[in-house]
Structure 1
Amino acid sequence: NNYSCVILNVDGSCLDSPVRYGFGGIIRNTFDQYLAGFSGFIQGSYDILLDELYVIYKGLLLAKDMSIDEFVCYSDSLHHVSLIKGPHVKYHIHAVLIQDIKELLSQTNVSLYHTLREGNQCADFFAKLGVSLDADFSTHASPPESVRDLLRNNAMGTFFLRE
């Protein structure tokens, strides 16, 4: 298959003691070639719902900044994908952010899908990195070695059993 498209994978993460919520994602193509990575955390946030929505928003903004307007976005949070793809949620605590995401999606040719967490390992790596850093938002022009290994596994078609 010679067809190539751009893929955005996003994820949120939470670590205890003290509780910190981070997020991260990766932009790659279908041949698992790395285009960009990003990570960050939301200062003072104790809301995983916000974290999972915010990473989708930040990933869409990064793709827009990179002039990528046609891609597929994967999140391992079915709840968040459903919130965004569903009808307008006027009284939701994060209604403004959800509407901002819907607006970004309407400006581009982006498909938003749910994926299993096993298919989201690169984004999970960056989300955990976001928890451990003090930066609100960082981009990573080249992949860390651990991500290279994950991309290599993806390219070889390695399957992972659910734990």
Structure 2
Amino acid sequence: MLDKVCLGQAKEYFYCVSKAKQVTSKAVIPIKWNKPIPGWHKLNTDGASLGNPGKAGGGGLIRNSDGVWIRGYSRSIGYTTSVMAELWALRDGLSLAIQLGIRNLVVELDAKVIVKMLNNADNSNKKFSPLLFDCRSLMARFTQVQVAHVFREANRCADYLAKNGCCMREDFVIFDVSPSNELDNLLVFDRNGLYCYRQVASTLASVVSL
């Protein structure tokens, strides 16, 4: 009898303190670029670094509520990290939107770390704080501004312009129209609301058995 009690207590303890086995499965989710609502513009930005740190570039584009190209840009940044390149690209895009007189702006980028930095008042990282301060100051000049993280599949046009910046001879170029047929195709894809598909991992806890 005592043995059964001890065994029951041991099982209960094991269930309480042991880690459940993790079962990882794959899920495919649809992703697309979404047009901003009427009265708003959307800025997509991206940074690229060939080596991290390495030769870096930044870029982005502004589109209206019909998904129509307003302006695009690329910058050759030099030798730096991908985080620095992301911040450069964001600052350039915000400055360009202000020059165009845009008041309501949605900002999308595929770097979660930048979104966290913008939402965190901590400026302890002196390496990034000057660019962060500039970005926050520029954002304060809009009537309304929203910053959101998106998956890479919804940021492909900005990615193209960022990679273009890595290999440019010029320091900074503003494009009144799309600079290539390849980018034209990506723009049409986005404007028509077509989906890309991304495979993501989903983890489920399974019951532990003795």
TM-score when normalising by structure 2 = 0.71
Q: CA deviation at 1:2?
A: 10
Matched with 1:155 is 191
Q: Which runs of 5+ in 2 are unaligned?
A: 1-34, 200-210
Matched with 2:115 is 81
Is the counterpart of residue 57 in structure 1 residue 91 in structure 2? yes
Q: Write the letter of the residue equivalent to 1:40.
A: R
Matched with 1:48 is 82
Q: Write the letter of the residue equivalent to 2:118.
A: I
Q: CA deviation at 1:47?
A: 1.8
Q: CA deviation at 1:15?
A: 2.6
Q: Write the letter of the residue equivalent to 1:96.
A: P
Q: Write the letter of the residue equivalent to 1:77.
A: A
Q: CA deviation at 1:94?
A: 1.1
How far apart are the structure 2 equivalents of 1:54 and 1:69? Answer: 21
Q: Which runs of 5+ in 1 are unaligned?
A: none
Matches within 5 A, 1:119-130: 119-130=154-165
How far apart are the structure 1 equivalents of 2:155 and 2:68? Answer: 15
The alignment of Structure 1 onto Structure 2 pairs a total of residues equal to 161
How far apart are the structure 2 equivalents of 1:112 and 1:2? Answer: 12
How far apart are the structure 2 equivalents of 1:97 and 1:130? Answer: 18
Is the counterpart of residue 133 in structure 1 residue 201 in structure 2? no
SS of alignment partner, residue 80 of structure 2: coil
Aligned Cα root-mean-square deviation (Å): 2.0
TM-score when normalising by structure 1 = 0.90
Output one character per residue of 1:85-143: Cα deviation in whole Å (capped at 9) or x when no partner: 11131344211211111111111121111111100011011011111112211001111
CA contact (8 A) 2:110 2:155 kept: yes
Q: CA deviation at 1:69?
A: 2.2
- Identity within the alignment, %: 28
Larger radius of gyration: 2
How far apart are the structure 2 equivalents of 1:69 and 1:20? Answer: 33
How far apart are the structure 1 equivalents of 2:160 and 2:103? Answer: 25
Q: 1:102 aligns with which of 133, 136, 142?
A: 136
